[in-house]
Structure 1
Amino acid sequence: MPPDFSFETAAHARGLSRICGVDEVGRGPLAGPVTAAAVILDPARIPQGLDDSKKLSAKRRAALAEQIHAVAEVCVAHASVEEIETNNILRAAHLAMIRAIAGLRVPPCHVLVDGNMVPRGLNHPCETLVGGDGRSLTIAAASIVAKVERDRIMGDLALAHPGYGWERNAGYGTAQHKAALLDLGVTPHHRRKFKPIHNILYQPAIATD
């Protein structure tokens, strides 16, 4: 079943007019920021074909992201590699979500959050939806916008740090990426507390005769 507008319609029926969906991408990669998007859709102008961003081709995501920006209220925000290291990836993802919501032109009346946790510090009425990007059209829109934006960032970083394949793997730990880490080393954009990176940085010294 594709996502629908039932959660938003239920909130509207309770007198809530500005329903925001928020989602993040980039919790699993070995490099790059975590990115979140907050979206408020116009019920009369919902782009056709919205779905969980993972189910869509890159070309389709890009086309839908352009449509979403044209007809909806959108804000994208990030948490940096430094913030991921200082806090942890979950907290950093929540920081990005809170920043995206805070960046909307007018605060939302209600927030639909992808996942099972309310981000600490989110001071808006909200509900969590596990698998929300496949259930709510507004969260699906947020997932598409966040994915397209983060992929763009990783493509730009790939130009400065060629060889890791970030333009294709978006920083995830593919075979090419892991091989490049051994050949080229660790960049400032790598998450040094993530196990594969940590293991490279802190390999035990090999005793030699």
Structure 2
Amino acid sequence: MDQELFHQEEPKVICGLDEAGRGPLAGPVVAAAVILPEIFPFSVLGDSKALTEKQRLEAEIIIKEKALYWAIGIATAKEIDRINILQASLLAMQRAFGKLQKQVAIDLALVDGNQKPNLDCPTKAIVKGDATVAQIMAASILAKNQRDRYMVLCDEKWPLYQFSKHKGYPTEEHRKACLLYGLSPIHRRTFHIALSGKPETKQAQLF
């Protein structure tokens, strides 16, 4: 953790940002923005990918109760197809950040990874920030849980794909369902064309 970021000109309002859902074949990319108080039960936090579902859900309750501010932003599958997954991820983070900015002036945004969204405040990208920076860890947990819930709802609407099991990720079962049934409205067409490598074939047109 870059300690210098946390000890300049106190008090400083620091927003953590992270996203979930860059790899799936279906569904949106979801981002969260979180501002934590100085006194917080930091032990509940962790890398969302390393936490169990139970741990993530328990942490989410505490984050939403004790965070000073939090917000969710999404970019849809159609937006992902139109502007690509990287830009859609940055857009989702911009949307989450924008919701917080309407409520509080933010001095610094800390973003997981090596890419930064265009925000109206100083912004620092931190590789593996979701495992080292509390604000980013909290954002990662909220984003992951929100996206998982969305995909469970999608499973109710399009049960053939069993979204509640794989959350849209490219499991063998999911890919077979896409070949058998074609694509749902929440599938990312560009991802499937990239996988097939043959956009003009009959198979790719199913995608």
Normalization by structure 1: what TM-score? 0.89
Instruction: Supply the distance in 1 between the matched residues of 2:178 and 2:81 (Cα, whole angstroms).
Output: 19
Unpaired segments of 5 or more residues in structure 2? Answer: none
Q: Is the 8 A contact 1:110 1:125 kept in 2?
A: yes
Instruction: Supply the distance in 1 between the matched residues of 2:185 and 2:96 (Cα, whole angstroms).
Output: 24
Q: Is the 8 A contact 1:191 1:197 kept in 2?
A: no
2:84 aligned residue (60, 74, 88)? 88
| Offset at residue 160 of structure 1 (A) | 0.3
In the other structure, the counterpart of 2:104 is 106
Instruction: Supply the distance in 2 between the matched residues of 1:150 and 1:122 (Cα, whole angstroms).
Output: 23
1:168 aligned residue (165, 170, 174)? 165
Give, as a single letter, the amino acid of the residue that structure 2 aligns with 1:124: C
Larger mean CA deviation between 193-202 and 103-112 belongs to: 193-202
| SS of alignment partner, residue 151 of structure 1 | helix
In the other structure, the counterpart of 2:44 is 49
- C-alpha distance after superposition, 1:111-155 (max 9, x if no partner): 111011121x22210111001101101101100000000000000
Root-mean-square deviation (CA), in Å? 2.0
Larger mean CA deviation between 13-22 and 185-194 belongs to: 13-22
- C-alpha distance after superposition, 1:24-81 (max 9, x if no partner): 0101000000000000111112342211100011111011011100000110110011
1:30 aligned residue (25, 30, 44)? 25
2:4 aligned residue (10, 15, 25)? 10
Give, as a single letter, the amino acid of the residue that structure 2 aligns with 1:129: I
Normalization by structure 2: what TM-score? 0.89
Give, as a single letter, the amino acid of the residue that structure 2 aligns with 1:149: Q
Question: What is the percent sequence identity of the aligned residues?
Answer: 40
Instruction: Supply the distance in 2 between the matched residues of 1:100 and 1:205 (Cα, whole angstroms).
Output: 39
- TM-aligned CA distance change 1:138 to 1:166, over 3 Å: same
In the other structure, the counterpart of 1:3 is none
